[in-house]
Amino acid sequence: MFILGVVLATVAEARTPGSVLFRPSRVQAIALSPAGRWLAIAGYFNPHQRERLALINLRQPGREVTLHLVRQSKIAHLRWMPSGMLLVSTRLKLAGYRTHFPSGEIWAVRVHGTHIRPARLLVGFRKHQIEFNFSLNRVLSGRTHYPNRIEVERYSFADPAPLAESVNLQTGFIQARVHSPLTNGELLTNRTGRVKLAFGSNALSGQLELWYRIGHSLQWKNLSGLLDRDGPASHARPVGFLPDDHRFYLLRTSRYGTLGLYAVNPSTSSETRLFASRTDDILKTFAAPSGRIYAVWSGITHPHYTFLALQSKEAQWIRLLSPMFRHQTVRILGMTTRQQLVLVCVQGDRNPGDYYLFNPETHTLRYLMSASPSIEPPALSRLHAYRISWRQWKEPVYVAFPHEPSHARGGIIIWIHDHPFRDGIQKSFDPRIQDLTEHGFVVVEVDYPGSFGSGAAWRRAGYRQWSGIMLQGIWAAARWAESHHWAPPGRLALGGTGYGGYAAMILAALHPRRIQAVVSLNGYYNLALLRTHLDRKWRTPAGRRFLNRVLGKHHLRAWSPVTLAHRIRAAVLLIQGERDQQAPPNDLNAVVTALRRSKTPVSTLEEPTQGHRFTGYPALTRIWHTIVQFLNRAFHRDALSRGAVHVD
């Protein structure tokens, strides 16, 4: 109890204004140096400025160095080398392309004591005479048999098979090492930096495959029989090597139908189950520097840790700190070489993230900064988890309440997530929800059949049920929310992105007198055209079999918003990114014409620089301000005078 008391006292005094080490407007990535002297931070220091890299001297507060990277780069990942060099991977925006690629360049910042050399382009964008013949680069491992080398994975449009290259950090010399046996895949290394696994899709069959490299040779062993045969919806994947550098961890469907964790021996193709819940999929795994996974994160309504190595130091630290941050999650982001300092992040549904330094010897915490300093957690709304009894299932939902009494609330909004079969709802900070509750709306998130997180049976229940069981599950949540009288009657709205926009439009057509407003962001308005687009995207036999299984071929146009638009009586707001490839703007024009023909009130907002996923501070602020104004008009409600939470 004495140890806990010391830490509690430190936390209570931690967030005083004078104790804040640094104050960026938003943190994108953060990393602690091996010696514990420097803290690298990538983020925005003004919402309207470009992203920058800052190095903070933890031993001399107030001393910081800010670096800029050239081109239209966004920092994706920070990695410290044992020698003190900082590797910065970027996402690159290229002319002619409409999004940022996962990794474009690798920069090196040499740090020696208190001396910092300017950023140097280590592995860069390689553009040849052909317009789009370039490569993307990703650091595979910072550990090799040679201290001044790293392994980098290069993916080129000219040669789609990933290639592992060895890069000399001092000279920049690049030497090709290993070609992947797969296209559209990725390479994985063991702890010593050797490429040992290739995981991805086969170009001919479209099936996911897993290959293991035998010894130091160029021969590969096929271990694809260990994977799920669930097409693009499969969540099976390798997640690292055990400390012996031979066996590896694999996520795949367990005998309970949930995503479980297994240890695979590639020599015998045998596996050992390490963890599998009877009801919940694994959402995230956590590994120590040795590679050993010490905990998994699972649960939709009550997310929690399950520790696989209770005696590990990481598990002991999390168990020590967690009681001090109720309703929040403590996560370890990094530590010094001798484990004298540990970088900790505390997050919750009302907290985008607070960063601390934990000293395991003295059991004290030092507050560093907030991921979004402008957000005050006590003023935000908490997510309350429920399970609705519906048919033979217990459907998970989250509800966020505003601070107003029920008679003064603006209405109930059922928010429907996108990407069925791949995503689900999670109990984490969501600025969109906080923005709506700030303006007096009750927000309900529903984990409809077909969502990921509650096992394969729940996910597969949505196959070929886009207009069936999936919609019925969403409508069950809407009726359940209405029955609690959380807002005045006659104020029910539905909204979402992608499939969420599609579901909101179809339910408004099926229940025209019950729904007063619909908000659709990049919604799917013509399933027949969506099927054609996905056919082009997944050209392989396996990809098309998957489409037949989850979407089907029949009655697609009959159950499309463009066909049922004449039945909608609710006010409709359609927001479209003009560069969206999944829901093309032509679909928007067709559904707007159909709605206006039936004299349905419809408003539109088109964003010329946005794709399927809306990004950027100005665009997000404009979009959510438009949504709030639209809902106030639809519910005949005076606009609230209070400001909104700015969406990051």
Torsion 414-418-421-426 (CA) sign: negative
Strands 393-400 and 383-390: antiparallel
Burial, 319: exposed, middle or buried (Cβ in 10 Å; 0-12, 13-18, 19+)? middle
* Superfamily name with CATH number, domain 384-634: Alpha/Beta hydrolase fold, catalytic domain (3.40.50.1820)
Amino acid at 448: Y
Burial, 404: exposed, middle or buried (Cβ in 10 Å; 0-12, 13-18, 19+)? middle
Note the pLDDT of residue 159.
60
Q: What is the mean pLDDT of residues 418-440?
A: 89
Per-residue pLDDT tens for 199-218?
987 766 667 889 999 988 88
pLDDT exceeds cutoff 80 at 69: no
> Do 22 and 54 contact (CB within 8 A), yes or no?
yes
Average pLDDT of the residues of the chain: 82
Query: Cβ contacts of residue 547 below 8 Å, gap of 6+?
Result: 531, 534, 535, 538
Cα–Cα dist 153/417, whole Å: 33
Note the pLDDT of residue 295.
96
> Do 193 and 206 contact (CB within 8 A), yes or no?
no
Cα–Cα dist 412/433, whole Å: 12
In the chain, where are the structural domains located?
Answer: 384-634
Strands 571-577 and 517-521: parallel
The residue with tokens 């010894």 is 215
β-sheet bridge partners, residue 108: 87, 120
Note the pLDDT of residue 315.
95
- Cα 431 versus chain centre, distance: 14
Burial, 497: exposed, middle or buried (Cβ in 10 Å; 0-12, 13-18, 19+)? buried
The residue with tokens 């990114």 is 577
Specify whether the backbone of 374 is left (phi greater than 0), alpha (psi in -120 to 50) or beta: alpha
Q: What is the mean pLDDT of residues 606-623?
A: 84
Burial, 96: exposed, middle or buried (Cβ in 10 Å; 0-12, 13-18, 19+)? exposed
pLDDT exceeds cutoff 50 at 14: no
* Sheet containing strand 351-359, strands side by side: 328-335, 342-348, 351-359, 364-370
Split at pLDDT 50, 70, 90, the class of 617 is: confident
β-sheet bridge partners, residue 65: 55
Note the pLDDT of residue 640.
44
Among the residue ranges 9-23, 24-38, 42-56, 215-229, the one predicted with the least confidence is: 9-23
More confident residue, 421 or 597: 597
